[in-house]
Structure 1
Amino acid sequence: MEFSVKPFTALTLLELYQVLRLRAEVFVVEQDCVYQDVDNKDQKALHVLGYKNNQIVAYTRIFDTNDYFEGYSSIGRVVVQQSERKYGYGHQLLQESIAAIEKHFNTQRIKISAQTYLEKFYNTHSFKRVGEEYLEDGIPHVVMIKS
């Protein structure tokens, strides 16, 4: 797996298409969740792209402090193509995203809104749950912090 970090304006049309398709495949179709994925926040984010055989199969978007959560940087839209999850790419993707935040935003304070069933996954990357479970777009989530 090869990774690249790009601002929105540096994404090619093909990369943007692959990102939006991947997000729709997982978040809308696989998770059966109707929500507004294209939310005008992509333009503010850096995009972490995971490539395998020239195809984007893993992705996150990362935000500088205060651009998504007050006082924290953030990682969102964490996604790995269903057929590629068995290879541990989610862990690589999260490590790359954390490293990109440290490099580009010079912080280790990260706050995420995680799907509850992935809490143990995020725990392995030093994220700790804060507060109670809540519904976001009909899916149980928890706030998690890494600092």
Structure 2
Amino acid sequence: MEVKIKAFNGLSLNELYDILALRNEVFIVEQNCVYQDIDSKDQKALHVLLYEGSSLAAYARLFDKGIAYDTAAIGRVIVAPAYRNRALGDLLVDEAIKAIETHYKTISITISAQAHLQRFYGKHEFVTVSEEYLEDDIPHVKMKRN
């Protein structure tokens, strides 16, 4: 598994296409959720890409404090359907946390997690700090890691 951490301007056209295609496949088509995925925040993010060969297996985007929340943030966490049940989600979140600590020099991180994933993020020391709310008609909770 090859891990890449890149700013928006460092992404190749193929990498950007892979990211947008994967997000579209899962967040819009698989989850049957029509929403505006391209939100003008990608340009402000660091992008974590996990490749197996030429295939994008997992992805997340990271923000410094003050962009999405008053802390650093992880968002758009996704594992491609063909790569699920291989603990890539754990690897992806671990790499995202390390990248935030390295690039943003902080350990305080906020995520808006799909509610059913609270136990998964809990393994990575995130704790739920909000009541459940709907984001794009999907139940979510705010979680923090300090």
TM-score (norm 1): 0.98
**Paired letter, 1:113:** S
**More deviation, 51-60/40-49:** 51-60
Distance 2:76 2:111 in 1: 10
**1:24 offset after TM fit, Å?**
0.5
Counterpart-to-counterpart distance in 2, 1:53 and 1:131: 39
Instruction: Report the counterpart of residue 116 of structure 2 in structure 1.
Output: 117
Aligned length: 146
Matched residues in 2 for 1:52 and 1:86: separation?
Answer: 15
Is residue 2:144 matched to residue 1:145?
Answer: yes
1:102 equivalenced with 2:101 (yes/no): yes
Q: Aligned residue for 2:64?
A: 64
Distance in 1, Cα, partners of 2:79 & 2:15: 15
Amino-acid identity (%) = 52
Deviation of 1:132 (Å): 0.3
Q: CA RMSD in A?
A: 0.6
Shift of 1:86: 1.2
Query: Could you say what secondary structure the match of 1:87 adopts?
Result: coil
Question: TM-score, structure 2 length as denominator?
Answer: 0.99
Residues 7-62 of structure 1, C-alpha deviation per residue, up to 9 Å, x if partnerless? Answer: 00010000000000000011001111000000000000000000001221100000
What is the CA-CA distance between 1:130 and the residue it aligns to?
0.5
**Structure 2: 5+ residue stretches without partners:** none
Q: Secondary structure at the match of 2:131?
A: strand
1:53 counterpart residue number? 53
CA distance in 1, matches of 2:124, 2:22: 23
Distance in 2 between the 1:145 and 1:42 partners?
21
After the TM superposition, list the runs of 4 or more consecutive aligned residues in structure 1 that deviate by more than 3 angstroms. none
Q: In structure 2, what is the equivalent of residue 26 of structure 1?
A: 26
